[in-house]
């Protein structure tokens, strides 16, 4: 079945440094990938999602590229901000059941001043 | 536009007690999800509906958990005979677009002692 793997439980870095959070997936069919962000005591919110036409989604300075060859959808940002500290979840659905969305375990990003 | 509303926000039970969680999705959203989010883990899909129909409840512990959405709008998730392992936040989400964007409520946090 489909699955999502986020290898890092915690990423700590200093403000201004680049961010990369890893996400790999397994899917038998054409996947749709998502990144959700959850700030402390808030609900998860969509950050960005993959496009079917291979465009690179971007939002709030974050971007991610779907690489089907490596089954990856890593989240990147050129310069971390203190307000980026949050939990980040990679999620997946596929073309056979587009409404069934499964989540990875999440990566906690902690940005230090 | 009102977001997804959940109640109660918190519940503390002793093992063996029952609890019901209620969810009011965004108006017009035909798909409704219940996720279980244990502490420090990603959301895990329990069940989802399209209108009033259950589409997938394969991850719902059927012996103690039940979920309904009788009129295709609000939904109730019930846990009977709660166990300590049920301690988690129960997230409701709804979706109304073909892009599978999930809109989450703030969650109902359950502690079973």
Q: A54 falls in which pLDDT band (50, 70, 90)?
A: low
Shortest alpha-carbon distance between residue B2 and chain A (Å): 14
Contact A43 B104 (CB under 8 A): yes
CA angle A84, B44, B62 (to 5 degrees): 160
- Torsions phi, psi for A99 (to 5 deg): -90, -10
Contact B55 A105 (CB under 8 A): no
Q: Does A101 touch chain B (CB under 8 A)?
A: yes
Lowest mean pLDDT among A47-61, A92-106, B70-84, B88-102: A47-61
Domain A3-112 in CATH: superfamily?
Immunoglobulins (2.60.40.10)
CATH of the domain at B19: 2.60.40.10
Question: What's the pLDDT score for residue B98?
Answer: 63
- Kindly write down the DSSP assignment for every residue of B26-39, as one continuous string: -TT--EEEEEEE-T
* Separation CA B51–CA A7 (nearest Å): 36
Question: What's the pLDDT score for residue B80?
Answer: 94
Contact A89 B95 (CB under 8 A): no
Q: Which residue has the tokens 């509906």?
A: B49
Number of domains chain B contains: 1
Q: Which residue of B has its CA nearest to A94?
A: B100
Q: Does A89 touch chain B (CB under 8 A)?
A: yes
Q: Work out how many CB contacts closer than 8 A connect A with B.
A: 53
What the block records as the tokens of B75 is 């939904």
């Amino acid at each position: 079945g489909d699955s999502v793997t986020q290898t890092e439980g915690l990423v700590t870095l200093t403000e201004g440094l680049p961010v990369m959070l890893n996400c790999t997936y397994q899917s038998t069919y054409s996947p749709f990938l998502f990144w959700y962000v959850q700030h402390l005591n808030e609900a998860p919110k969509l950050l960005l999602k993959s496009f079917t036409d291979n465009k690179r989604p971007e939002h709030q300075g974050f971007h991610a590229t779907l690489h089907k060859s490596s089954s990856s959808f890593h989240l990147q940002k050129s310069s971390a901000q203190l307000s980026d500290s949050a939990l980040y979840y990679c999620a997946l659905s596929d073309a056979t059941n587009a409404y069934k969305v499964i989540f990875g375990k999440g990566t906690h990003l902690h940005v230090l001043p | 536009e009102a977001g997804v509303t959940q109640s109660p926000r918190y519940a503390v039970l002793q093992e063996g007690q029952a609890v019901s969680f209620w969810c009011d999705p965004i108006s017009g959203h035909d798909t409704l999800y219940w996720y279980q989010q244990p502490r420090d883990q990603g959301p895990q899909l329990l069940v989802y509906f399209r209108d009033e129909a259950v589409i997938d409840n394969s991850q719902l512990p059927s012996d103690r958990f039940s979920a309904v959405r009788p009129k295709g709008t609000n939904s109730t998730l019930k846990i009977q005979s709660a166990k300590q392992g049920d301690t988690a936040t129960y997230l409701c989400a709804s979706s109304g677009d073909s892009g599978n964007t999930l809109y989450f409520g703030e969650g109902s946090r359950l502690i079973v002692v």
